[in-house]
A and B are shown apart, each in its own frame.
Chain A
């Protein structure tokens, strides 16, 4: 309903003015550029087919990726993130002027290369440290060896080797002839042993050592006694550690320039997107041509843009049948926040209806029924107002605010104020206040809540069917609409009406229809005529009569689906009861700790506040998810096919920052 009309616009300009045109379009921010290669009017032209345009600037792309890396590296120095920031993304605000001035003044290339050096050095240091530490670990067992390590190995006549022997095989070691051994240290599994033998026996002895599980340790490249070496390595690690701290400190200082880097990133990425847009157009011998979509109301502004150029002109056209224009939905300010929910599902295409105004009242009411607590409603309003103050007027928070308001009504209606708080406190005024607003108490008599949920379900399903019918008529499919949506609409309505009358009056269902005079027959007509329509018409127009009727009968079987849809709305009641139950249990526990001497009252208050805060989060979550599900699964399926994509005008955008005009 509120889908904004868009038109296709094609700009033609002399090649020499191409860059200015792209600049101007970006600044204006009103045209959604689309690729000329995919446009049905142009894509078959030989020039377009063969076009090869660099769509981005590799040098800028490279710089952008370097900046991204450095920003990620800087993130470790961020002051601790607030609780809110883990849930919401908060971008720093800058102006368009900042974008240019900061990027020109700030020597980001120097920062980038310095940070990259530091990062590289830090990795090196880490590797060196690991290496040294593993050397220390391997030397530790040889600490008591009073022999410079370079002397291990072969000399003129003798050979010295060092290694480990499994502790069980020590006896066998002693049995080997022609060796001198010296145990340096031992642990629960090995002895760390030095073995000396004559070189001429080497082959035999090594073979025998192998048999008893001897493993040689390699000290090549190490000079000095183990204890000296360990000291030396420890000192080296200390030095590296000092350097690491120094380097990190410098990086931490550089990280203070992070905001500047964010700005440069956005500046460069906006330049990059100009290359992208140029690539989506095409150059001929003398002209540059680019096309896109524009909102009808923005067409006035185009003349102003074109006037700046000597050679520019433009063509406006309505979207043709082959076109797939982007969608821009625009609603009244009061329901605009709920566009969020539509976008989550997927935007409508041009032939669709914007479901936002339809889902808004239902979502708000359902949310309230799921939460069903006036105390929680008030808390939710306060919480979302506080968050808005900190984070700005985010759509999500406005939706929560609406939900808080409906929760107050639902809670007052069912007498739920922080669960059963008002009835469990011995304050008569609160009892009277609660009871004066009370419509029914679901803890005593849950059935009204049950029927209320079903009634809302019927209302929404029926509305969905009507909208579906409207959509079919709009697209010239009146008969299909009559045989499907409209038939179901009347059948559901009158079956339920007749059932209600029969249960109220005590007459049987058949008597209500056929023995109640004209009104009865009228109801019977609206039940059986739709059934006939579904059987004979809903099977489509192709295929033989039998096939169509079988299809129609199968469609009639869809009644189980409608029963399921209606029952699905009972979740409104279930979630309302769960809220009341959790809240009541918190109150009970708070009451139980009250008799604890001295600190009882404090404990009770802590449990009350903490418990209800937790319960609000849990139940708001449930209320949101389930209200949304009812829109998507039960409501949208009756009329809505998403298939649109978002209208995103080519403009100056911030990736890391929020750019204010």
Chain B
């Protein structure tokens, strides 16, 4: 049974590390956007995407956590998990945990810079979003790696 604990650590890490990253990332963008809004309250809609963009990592982490939780049957009757299976699930959670944590923070910085750009040139709102999406690529790759690792673990 003890493998279950290790699997739970994996699920928890995927959710909380990616979540921390997104929280810090939106922390940057939210502050930058509030600063802009104090001067130009009409920009709310235009800045929305840039503020929300670093939030996706938290979801990627959450989804992996959810898949692990479903896989070990925590929402119903827990399955018997060996220590090795538990370790495998923990390993599967790591890509999104770390890629999510760090990419969200850096995406937050990129998007905050994008918010400054949009404040000065409101017609350019979409270009910094693309830069933000470039950082996001690596969170997506982390998610995919976690997903493929996890889906192939036999329980």
Contact = CB atoms under 8 A, between A and B. Distances in A.
Contacts of A88: 45
A573 B144 contact: yes
Interface string A106-142: 0000000000000000000000000000000000000
B75 A87 contact: no
Interface string A153-195: 0000000000000000000000000000000000000000000
B80 interface: no
A575 B133 contact: no
Contacts of A446: 147-148, 151
Given A625-B53, A628-B130, A87 B63 contact: no
A626 interface: yes
B147 A577 contact: yes
Given A568-B137, A585-B66, A621 B49 contact: yes
A582 interface: yes
Interface stretch (B54-62, B82-90, B112-120): B54-62
Contacts of A622: 56
B26 to A, nearest CB: 13
Contacts of A87: 44-45, 48
Interface in A378-423: none
B49 A574 contact: no
Contacts of B137: 568, 571
Contacts of B44: 86-87
A621 B148 CA distance: 24
Interface string B144-155: 100110010000
B45 A618 contact: no
A574 B66 contact: no
B143 interface: yes
B140 interface: yes
Nearest to B66: A585
B81 interface: no
Contacts, number: 74
A625 B133 contact: yes
A416 to B, nearest CB: 14
A232 interface: no
Nearest to A346: B127
B143 A578 contact: yes
Contacts of A625: 49, 53, 129-130, 132-133, 136
Interface of A is mostly: helix
A573 B44 CA distance: 31
B141 to A, nearest CB: 8
B133 A629 contact: yes
A588 B130 CA distance: 33
A582 B130 contact: no
Interface residues of A, number: 29
Interface in A52-109: 86-89
Contacts of A632: 130
B126 interface: yes
Contacts of B136: 625-626
A18 to B, nearest CB: 32
Interface residues of B, number: 32
Contacts of B63: 577-578, 581-582, 585
A42 B2 CA distance: 85
B91 interface: no
A344 interface: yes
Given A568-B137, A574-B147, A621 B130 contact: no
A12 interface: no
A622 B143 CA distance: 14
B1 interface: no
Contact of B140 (A571, A585, A618, A633): A571
A590 to B, nearest CB: 13
A86 B44 CA distance: 6
B144 A582 contact: no
- Specify which of A87, A573, A575, A581 lies most central, judged by the most chain B CB atoms within 10 Å of its CB: A581
B67 A581 contact: yes
Contacts of A582: 59, 62-63
Contacts of B143: 574, 577-578
B140 A584 contact: no
A454 B87 CA distance: 31
A629 B137 CA distance: 10
Interface in A572-618: 573-575, 577-578, 581-582, 584-585, 588, 618
A482 interface: no
B116 to A, nearest CB: 19
Nearest to A572: B140
Contacts of B66: 581, 584-585, 588
B60 A578 contact: yes
Interface in B96-147: 126-127, 129-130, 132-134, 136-137, 140-141, 143-144, 147
- Specify which of B48, B75, B151 lies most central, judged by the most chain A CB atoms within 10 Å of its CB: B151
B134 A629 contact: yes
A629 B134 CA distance: 8
A573 B66 CA distance: 18
Contacts of A570: 140-141, 144
Contacts of A86: 44-45
A494 to B, nearest CB: 27
B45 A626 contact: no
B101 to A, nearest CB: 17
B52 interface: yes
A86 B47 CA distance: 11
Nearest to A568: B137
Nearest to B53: A625
A567 B136 CA distance: 14
Nearest to A580: B63
Given A87-B48, A88-B45, A629 B130 contact: yes
20 contacts: A88-B45, A568-B137, A574-B140, A574-B143, A574-B144, A578-B59, A578-B63, A581-B63, A582-B63, A585-B66, A588-B75, A618-B52, A618-B55, A621-B52, A622-B56, A625-B132, A626-B140, A628-B133, A632-B130, A633-B134
What are the 10 A-B residue pairs with the smallest beta carbon separation, nearest first? Answer: A581-B63, A87-B45, A629-B133, A344-B126, A571-B140, A574-B140, A86-B44, A574-B144, A625-B133, A86-B45
Interface of A: 86-89, 344, 446, 567-568, 570-571, 573-575, 577-578, 581-582, 584-585, 588, 618, 621-622, 625-626, 628-629, 632-633
